[in-house]
Each structure stands twice: as structure tokens, then as C-alpha cells.
Copies of this chain bind each other. A is one copy, B any other.
């Protein structure tokens, strides 16, 4: 009964996500989105409602994307070694053409803190919760550790992961490798 969209919403969203990932929320303007997504502002607003709307969907897409490496972690059966691999996988995942972008969720926490949209914050909390549980499963392979130690170490790994995502933006690969190796020397 009417005209069809000339673009695919998932495709243009993917481009928007990468833009937010590189620049953060405030440093990404609707003109930049327009250019990167390859569609007019009208189309952006008719598909996503607002800039905030594009961002929320970008966060959700990011979580889908990063499943690519959390699945590898969950499927691994070499205990703590699998977690270490996850750290390295994240570095690959968060870098394109030698440009480390950190973690979109961590970047967002840093930019918006508690002032962020409620939906966005709960997306972040739920991701961290799931990641911690994945770490816990792998740590549990070591039967000598009791539950409290396991819980603490899982928390510790989550912060280390967040810290890595931040420092990866300004430190070279050799330094980052040292960081990662040390974390797992101590476990």
C-alpha cells in the first residue's frame, strides 16, 4: 500500500553503534550519524525516535555482538585459561585497524555514570552480572577454592576487565600483554 524503506535498520544501526563506540554519546552528532548510517535524519528519527533511541539500540546490538566472544568463553573447558583467552579475545574484538575503542558499555559508564538513562544502566548491570557468572563457572573448575574466594575472584576479574578496556586506549600491546599475564599469574 506504500513505499518501502530503502535501508535495512539492522545494517544502519551497526554503523551507528561503531560511531558511538568510537566517539561516545555526546561527541556523536546527528549529522555524523546521518553521514555514517547513510540515511537522512528523517529516516533516523522515523526508525529510532531520537538520538537516545539510536544509542539504546546500539547498546543492545553491542551486547549481541560481544556474545561472539562470551560464547567462546562459556564453551571453553580449560578453566581459568579460558578466562585469559577472553581477555585477549576482547582486545581483538575492541580494536579495528589498530584503533582500540575500549568497551562501549564501560565507555558509557564513564561518560554518563549514574546520570545515564535507566534502560541503559540496567543493560549494563545485566551484562556485568552475566559476565561475572561466566567467570565464576570457569573459576569453579579449581575445587580447592571455597565459595567466598570464588566470588571475590570473579568480582576482581570483572574490574580487571573494565580496567583493561580503558587502558587499552592509550597503552601499546606489549604493556597490555604484561597486564593480562600478571592478572592470571596471581590466580
Quick check: which of A3-11, A58-66, A75-83, A164-172 contacts chain B, the rest being far away? A164-172
Quick check: is A146 within 8 A (CB to CB) of the other chain?
Answer: no
Chain A residues touching B, majority SS: helix
Q: Does A49 contact B (CB under 8 A)?
A: no
A157 — nearest CB in chain B belongs to which residue? B182
A159-B186 contact, Cβ under 8 Å, with A24-B111, A102-B110, A124-B170: no
A8 to chain B, nearest CB (A): 30
List residues of chain B with CB within 8 A of the CB of A169: 109-110, 113-114
Q: Is A107 in contact with chain B by the CB < 8 A criterion?
A: yes
Within 8 Å CB of A121, what residues of B? 170
Q: Is the CB of B109 within 8 A of A185?
A: no
18 A-B interface contacts by CB (under 8 A): A102-B110, A109-B166, A109-B169, A113-B169, A113-B170, A114-B169, A124-B170, A152-B181, A152-B185, A153-B182, A155-B175, A156-B183, A158-B167, A159-B164, A161-B163, A162-B163, A163-B163, A163-B166
Interface positions of A (Cβ within 8 A of B): 24, 26-27, 100-102, 106-107, 109-111, 113-114, 121, 124-125, 149, 151-153, 155-156, 158-164, 166-167, 169-170, 175, 178-179, 181-183, 185-187
